[in-house]
Chains A and B, each alone.
Chain A
Amino acid sequence: MSREQSSGGGWFREADYDLMLTELERSAPTSLWSEVRRRFREQRAARWSARLLMVLALLAFFAPLLPLPSPAAMRLAGAPHAPVAPWSEFVNQRYEPVYGPLGALDRALVATRQKLFGKTQLGSWLGTDTKGRDTLARILWGSRTSLLVALCAALTSLSLGVAWGALAGLSGGRVDNLMMRALDVLQSIPTIFVVIFLLSFLNAPSAALGGARLLSREQVFFLVIGAVSWLSMARVVRGQVLALRSAPYVEAARAQGASLVWIVRKHVWPNVLPVVGVYVTLTLPAVILYEAFLSFLGLGVEAPNVSWGVLAADGAEALSPLVSSWWLVAAPSTALAATLLALGLVGDGLRDALDLRRGER
């Protein structure tokens, strides 16, 4: 073929457009992502929710560094101790380091805190519980559990869920069928039974295992949460990939001779990504709530560790018509509700920002 070599068969006179191109390149276009970021920032609710979540995440991470009472330090002067009401004291000098098992990073943070603030600690701004433990400290330490669960769920759904769904959607046919049926089976198992079974199984130091626990209770808990959270993400991604595979613009790319790798990289991936992002923000509240629910039932984290679910459960127990320690229920529930609401609003904002057709100005 004579035209094979020359891609410039002389149809077009490119030279005529040289000036125009220089002009165009000067007015660099806004990239898609900066446009999405701008559209996200324009939404007030989503913007403030994102900030709130960021502050919360920072507080959770640096909780050991803050001049708070230790979350496990009790004050059992004259038992039964009546809970201290909020705002009774601003600061005091009664700090005692009482912590559960800590990781290396947390140990370092606690050591820094002791160097920085010494015996100084905030008084119980949000009151204490019946055992004299500080509510604010426990809420901040509890948020670490909730956010860790959320992180764990996000990571499994982003890695396993996306990979599983993408693979099923791309391979199609029999493989797709098998992978989806496997998901059906996993999803049909009632998770609560799995959790109870696993926890009781792993909690009993069995003779066969030489009395040693393979995994700690917390690790099992995280594993289970991770194991259930990726299932629907896989479904969503698979559906999206399947739809994209036959989308006319992907067909068009195929007709142009684009390889599968090209199509996945340039068309499928960028179009799946927004859906994944939005779906993660939908998964997180559900998972945080699930953790709180399991902990409320006594199936989640155990003392001395805390989580919002544990706190709410303790608070509900302390409620009585005689002593109304409302803050023990109100404080953790408010924290939970605010986080869930903020996540929901961020998800909404993200969806609107990513949908280019929406809100044309």
Chain B
Amino acid sequence: MSSILLDVAGVRVHFPERGGSWFGPRRTIRAVDGVSFQLERGESLGLVGESGSGKSTTARVVAGLQTPTAGAVRLHGQLFGPRAPRSVRRHVQMVFQDPYASLDPRRPIGWTVEELLAVHGLLKPRQRRLRVLAALDACGLEALYVHRYPHELSGGQRQRVAIARALVAEPELLVCDEPTSALDVSVRAQIVNLLCELRERFELALLFVSHDLAVVRRVCEQVAVMYLGHVVELAPRSQLFDAPRHPYTRALLAAIPRGDPEHPAPHVALLGEPPSPMHPPSGCVFHPRCPRAGDVAGERCAREFPKSVERGDALVACHLDQP
């Protein structure tokens, strides 16, 4: 049996511009513009990048909430998306960023966690309730919470509920869209530890979207760096953090604050703001801000989009790093 669980192949998501002019052509926003990666069973991949880099949209495509404009997502080789049959969709579940908003305020916790089982008509009622208790327990919540309402819980507890809800039908892939960014720093570590623990216990594959590099380093074995809808570098954790190849990855890593004033990080200046995804730059999308774009002969960076090439264990899309 092939070990490939998830295959994301050349996914593009283009949105029509909101509002805009009533007449004349609508411009498109290229939120995701050709993203490919694969995920094996039990593997975890982190998606990092600035706001607007398309990482959340990618997560939504993988979770089946968004139909890609082009490209395909396959789960066990079967096409996956909003129209995939329920029995298939069950295997991919999502944890959302804001635990305050992602739980229905008028439903008790037990109902919310049980909902998925009820939607799919899985198990008998009593079995379902037992499963809910088990899932809550696995997420570190006591049984008495089933009767509580979301507004009675703290942020960390709610996120635990959201995770329990995602796990209750035993999915193979968990998509986490910035699950810790709405939480207090003190709670963040607990949730990260919980995710790591659950992943190990259930052999869960994880797609982890975050802009918090420290969290990604803790959770994910593979890391993909996104910029303006493209994956610019995809590498195993150790390689990416110790020997980043793409200039953008280096800039991102250099931006992590260090706790050691004796050895400050090498300063890699990124100029300006990320360009608008409505008018992506020609050639390599990163070249207007790239500190090393001048190093490539013949202005290739501005003309030609760099292909992703394998360098060691990593996939890098940069003209500087071609074999």
Q: Spell out A's residues near B (CB within 8 Å).
A: 1, 3-4, 7-9, 11-18, 20-21, 23-24, 27, 29, 32, 247-249, 251-259, 262, 266-267, 270-271, 356-357, 360
Contacts and interface: CB of A to CB of B under 8 A. Distances in A.
B106 A258 contact: no
Contact of B129 (A8, A11, A21): A21
Given A14-B134, A257-B89, A262 B119 contact: yes
Interface of B: 63-65, 76, 82, 86-87, 89-91, 93-94, 96-98, 101-108, 115-117, 119-120, 122-123, 126-127, 129-131, 133-135, 137-138, 143-144, 146-147, 149, 151, 162, 165, 167, 169-170, 172, 201-202
Given A20-B143, A257-B86, A257-B120, A252 B134 contact: no
Given A17-B137, A255-B63, A8 B123 contact: yes
B135 A12 contact: yes
B102 A252 contact: yes
A255 B94 CA distance: 7
B147 A266 contact: no
A296 B108 CA distance: 50
Contacts of A249: 101-105
18 contacts: A1-B76, A3-B172, A12-B170, A14-B133, A21-B129, A21-B143, A24-B143, A32-B106, A249-B102, A252-B94, A255-B65, A256-B115, A256-B116, A256-B165, A257-B116, A356-B105, A356-B149, A360-B151
A24 B87 CA distance: 31
A334 B103 CA distance: 46
Given A249-B103, A356-B105, A357-B151, A17 B133 contact: yes
B138 A14 contact: no
Contacts of A247: 101
Tell which of A13, A254, A259, A360 has the most Cβ of chain B within 10 Å.
A254
Tell which of B90, B104, B115, B135 has the most Cβ of chain A within 10 Å.
B104
A267 B116 contact: no
Given A7-B170, A29-B108, A248-B102, A12 B144 contact: no
A360 to B, nearest CB: 8
Contact of B65 (A14, A16, A17, A254): A254
Tell which of B76, B107, B117, B138 has the most Cβ of chain A within 10 Å.
B107
Given A1-B76, A7-B122, 16 more contacts: A3-B170, A7-B120, A7-B169, A11-B201, A12-B135, A14-B131, A17-B134, A24-B133, A248-B97, A248-B101, A249-B101, A254-B82, A255-B64, A256-B115, A356-B151, A357-B105
B147 A24 contact: yes
Contacts of B105: 249, 271, 356-357
B119 A11 contact: no
A349 B42 CA distance: 52
A247 B150 CA distance: 15
B147 A29 contact: yes
B176 to A, nearest CB: 12
Contact of A252 (B137, B138, B165): B165
Contacts of A258: 115, 119
Contacts of A7: 117, 120, 122-123, 169-170
Contacts of B169: 7
Tell which of A18, A249, A360 has the most Cβ of chain B within 10 Å.
A249
Contact of A17 (B104, B143, B149, B170): B143
B170 A11 contact: yes
Contacts of A1: 76
A24 B144 contact: yes
A80 to B, nearest CB: 63
A253 B65 contact: no
A205 B165 CA distance: 67
Given A254-B65, A266-B115, A271 B138 contact: no
A8 B76 CA distance: 20
A22 B84 CA distance: 37
A247 B91 CA distance: 23
A36 B268 CA distance: 58
B104 A16 contact: no
B150 to A, nearest CB: 9
| Pairs of residues from A and B, 4 with the lowest C-beta to C-beta distance, nearest first | A12-B134, A29-B147, A14-B130, A248-B101
A355 to B, nearest CB: 10
B140 to A, nearest CB: 14
B99 to A, nearest CB: 9
Contacts of B82: 254
Contacts of B172: 3
A12 B127 CA distance: 11
Contacts of B102: 248-249, 251-252
Nearest to A27: B147
